[in-house]
Structure 1
Amino acid sequence: MILEALGSALLGLLLAWVAVRRLAHRLPARILVLGTGVAGALFGDFITHSALGPGTAPLNLLGAAIVSAASLSLLLRPAGRLRRRSAPA
């Protein structure tokens, strides 16, 4: 169980590091992104471990990767400036 949680945390850290390297211009501070990736992976591992039970480490890591990627996607900002049109009077 400890190794599974450690593996999930490392997987979340890896996903967050890749996101920071590729999308740095669209993400907030690096420490926030790294922490969100790890927390999302640990939460995903907890959810899948609770749902599937022990002995399903590969599926738990898959669940950790999915939840980590989903939580990292919530941090993304739009690529360009939003254009707002004023309503005609």
Structure 2
Amino acid sequence: MLLEAISSAILGLALAWAAAHRLPHRLPARPLVLSTGVAGALFGAFVMHSALDAGGFLMILVGAAIVSVASLSLLLRPAGRLRRRSATA
């Protein structure tokens, strides 16, 4: 279980670093992005470990990656300015 936790934390950190490197203009501060990626991966590994009952190391990492990416996607801001048109236009 310790290996699963360390592996999922490293995976979450790598995914968060990649997102922060690729989309710096659409994400908040880097420490928040990195910690969100790690926390999401640890939570995903916990859920998958509970669901699979300690079976399938790769499936646990896949679950950790899915939850990490999902939590990172919640931090994204819109790409451009929102155009608001008035009702009379």
Instruction: Please give the range of the TM-score, normalised by the shorter of the 2 chains.
Output: over 0.9
Residue 19 of structure 2 is matched in structure 1 by 19
Between 49-58 and 66-75, the greater mean CA deviation after superposition: 49-58
| Inter-partner Cα distance in structure 1 for 2:88 and 2:33 | 40
Residue 67 of structure 2 is matched in structure 1 by 67
1:14-53 CA distance string (max 9 Å, x none): 0000001000010000000000000000000011111111
Give structure 1 stretches of 5+ with no counterpart.
Answer: none
TM-score using structure 1 length: 0.96
Give structure 2 stretches of 5+ with no counterpart.
Answer: none
- How many corresponding residue pairs? 89
State whether structure 2 residue 42 is matched by structure 1 residue 42: yes
AA of the residue aligned to 2:87: A
CA displacement at 1:63 relative to structure 2: 0.1
Q: Which runs of 4+ in 1 moved over 6 A?
A: none
| Inter-partner Cα distance in structure 2 for 1:29 and 1:57 | 32
Aligned-residue Cα RMSD (Å) equals: 1.1
